[in-house]
Structure formats: C-alpha cells, structure tokens
A and B are shown apart, each in its own frame.
Chain A
C-alpha cells in the first residue's frame, strides 16, 4: 500500500497494467481495515461481501477489454450521513442506528457508475454536529498519525480512513468546515465546493443552505478526479447548478495570479500562521502576486453560521419523531409522549443543544433578534467577499486555529469549541469553494492544513494552486 499523494492514479495504473486486480486490492484494503480500525474507529459499517462481489464484476469487465474509468476498481468509503441503498445510514446517532437507506445518494451513485468500489460507511459527529468526531453514538475516531489526538470533525472518519490508507479516497460533508478541518488534522486534502456544485440528494439534512458533500483524498490530483466525477446538475436536487462544468488538467500557470494572504495572526497558533505565510511565499516563487488581506468579520460570520445552521437543524431534525423511521421509545402511552421520549432518548447532548439553540433563534422573539439578523449578515459577508475577490483571485487562510489537539485537551464550554470554526464557516456562509491541504508540520510533527478560498466556481484555480503547493511542500509524504 503506498502513501504517495496521487494514490488513485497509481492504483489505477497498476490495475490497468494488470499488476494487481480489483479483488486483490479490495481484499488488501479490507485486511488493513481489520488490522488498523480497532485503534482508530473510522468505520461504522464495512460492506465487505458487496465490495468483493463488485471487485470481481469490475475485474471481469477489464478482462473483457471493456473501457473503464480512472476510478474503476478503486476502493472508497463515505461518511455515514450519505445514503447507500440497502446499507445502514446512522448519522452517528442512536436515533438512526438501525436505519437502512432505501435509496442511494447521487454523489455515491456517480462513483458507483464509474466502477469505484464502496468499502463501507464512516464515523462522524452525531448528525455532523461537532468538530472532533467525539459526539458519535458509535464512539470516538482517533487520529491515525497520533491516536491520542482527535481526527477532527465532523467528517473525522472520512479523513482518518484516508490518512490510514483504509480507503483510497472518501466522501465527507462540509456544513461549516467539516470536510476541511479533519482533512487538515489528518494531513489529507479536502474540498468544500461551490454551493450547488455537488448534489445533496441522499445527504441527510442538517443545515440545507450551507452544506455540501466533498471529497477527501491523499493528494490534490486525486481530489480533483473525484470531484470531477461527483459534481454537476442533478434533477433530484433543485439547488444544484444547471450549467456547472468542471475540468482540471493540472498544468495551469500561476504567473500573475493574485493571492490574498490572511495568516490569522493573533487568533491562531504560530505554527498555523507560519504555514499560511509559507504558502504565500511558495506561490510567490511560482510567479503569483501574494499580498496581505483581511477577511470579513470572522466573529460575525461565526455568529451568523451558528444561528442559521442551528435554526435549519431544529427544523430538519423535526422529522425524527419515532413514528415512520428511526428510534422509537418503548411503552409510550400517548402520541406526544412518544414524540418527546423518542427524541429525548434518541438524540445525544450536542444535537439537543443545537435543536434548543435553533428553536430559540426561530421562536417569536428570536426570529427578529437572531435569525433575520443572521441572514442579513450572511448577505453582507458574501458582498464583502465579492469585493475582496475583485482585488485577488484566491485567498489563503487558516482552517483551524491549531493542529489536531489531544483527546484530553478538548475545551469544555460549547461556545469556545464553536469559536474554533471561525475560519471554516466563511466559505459556507458565502457559498464559495475552499480547498484544504497540508502545508508543513508543527513542532510536534502533526500536519498543518491551510485553506485556499476562491470566488464561486473557481475550483479549477484552487486545484491549480493546491497542486503547486503540494509539489513544493511534498504533501502527505
């Protein structure tokens, strides 16, 4: 098993050259999951039998000389809030611990149609609410690079699985940094795309106006390949962009590109700040024009994000009432008691906190004081970013204030934990793309991730910048 940045390309080439077959590759990965995942906790469900059967089908396809895609036979896994027909989709919650999805998410279906092989479903913070994958009903996910540390969240299982090479690539979901922050903590590459670039059909809703499914991979090129497969219009999701198209060749010049640099000094650790500055210097050496910029008010973005996401969550999670699907409390004597007890027993503490917060922001008094104000702030922040992107083509910034912290060092007050999301939420609030990739190591050897943000639909540029940084720094290796 290799650790090179372009894992998919190398495996695909080996499959094409018949140096290995998809069945062998899948068995290798299943063995690796068996060996490693007991100490990491990335997987909730492993679909071994189906994966082996799919691999045999794809081997037969290759043997017949049929043309196959670059993802044919490549094993992947998805966050457990993304539906796959006939497979458990738990959202990391007791509420859905036995829920079997009756349909497949469009993003997953597109990978299956490209003959990629699903290995299983990955751990996450309950209903994607958290930033350390420690609110899951199925236990914590540990960082493969140091198992005393968190993998980040909420897509911690997705990032850890790639970092430990238990899947060639994975899908996560990003509502306020949930793909990018765990990608940074585990030394992998994660994309939160332009809102509407990837279908949300089959993604269990948390905050519908903010979230996107995004790929996590070992390298930038791999990430672009997966994104190119899952993106595009979907008639099953009215919020997907009709005219979105994506192509990335990886040979674009950065000469003359204007890069805004915001190192977050004062709000982030010296290691993180240094990594952002280093990225700016590297891009300068490629002929880009890098200069300091200020991001819109991150405190306001954070407040707007938590108000909007909690409000949408309180509405979206209203469907879990113990009647049609999900956990049902035993021996309730009336319908109201059934609703209340099912929800009380089925949801964990963080989910209850967000629901309460959402109800608070949406009730008669809170609606004017909080929700409407948050929507206004969202528009203002988007306008400020539009103005910023008139003066630069992309912005490099921190994604989190520190590198992966020890499991024992988690902050105790929820608001202090929320504050760590300040840099991540901006892209979700504005609906713009953001690519996160490793940019060096801290003093303790943990990877430091930086994010590259651009205006809407600028994914090809972000990948070009990311590829240049990866080639200069060496990425995961």
Chain B
C-alpha cells in the first residue's frame, strides 16, 4: 500500500499545495479547491484511477473552511482506494465539477448540492435530486433543525 502512494506522490509532485494524509489506512490527498480538476485529470490519466465511487459533503460548522467535499476514488487495475479532500469557505461554497473527468460524479454532486448547497461549477445538470425543486433550504447543514422548518413545504390548498 505505501508503495502505491509513493508513485502517486511522484506523479503529482508538479502541483503545489497538496497535503498527503490518511483516513484509517486509506491514502487521502488534501487539495486546494482551484487545483481539484487538474489533480483529478492527472489521477485518471497517469495513475489509473478510473472510477469515482462517492462524493461526501461535510458541514464542519466552523468560521473558516466550513464545508468539505471528500471524493472517494477507486482504481480497478491497481485495486486501491484513495480519497481527495477539498475545503470550501462558508460564503460561497463553490468547487469545480468533476463530471468531465468521471461522468459518474453527476448524481453524487447533485446529492451534495441538494443537501449542503455546495455549487459545482460547470456541472451540466445541477438540480436537486431528493428534495423538490422549489425547496429553499439545505437539510444536512448543521443549522437546519432535525424536525424541519414549519412552512418550508408548500402544500396544496383544499
């Protein structure tokens, strides 16, 4: 396992600002949000990471770097899993979409947008996926109450 991360480190050495960490034995790379598309393209083309398995949105509820996106990537030829982590600020949580690199990111990013309000730039079809289109809140944010907000859902009049 450490051997493989070394080769990935070498391939990515031209990109500045990456931090290599670990999530419970899986390698994880912290990426500045401007570099995410570049890193993803390099991982796909040069490191044989061919599938995106999941996108996890996190609301840390802190002043700086409130939101996080964790990309769960998998390589079928190498049989390894690797995580990418991007930190986003609370004012305009925006990050470049990874759909051009792995088209499977489409629905996963829609889910994160639906639940956290993180905007994925140049996403072709950024609609809500679970909640109704006219819903105005983002349910998985920490400032959204568990019981919901009264009046948030417009019900038809009798």
Do A and B belong to a common assembly? no
Q: Which residues of B contact A (CB under 8 A)?
A: none
Q: Which residues of A contact B (CB under 8 A)?
A: none
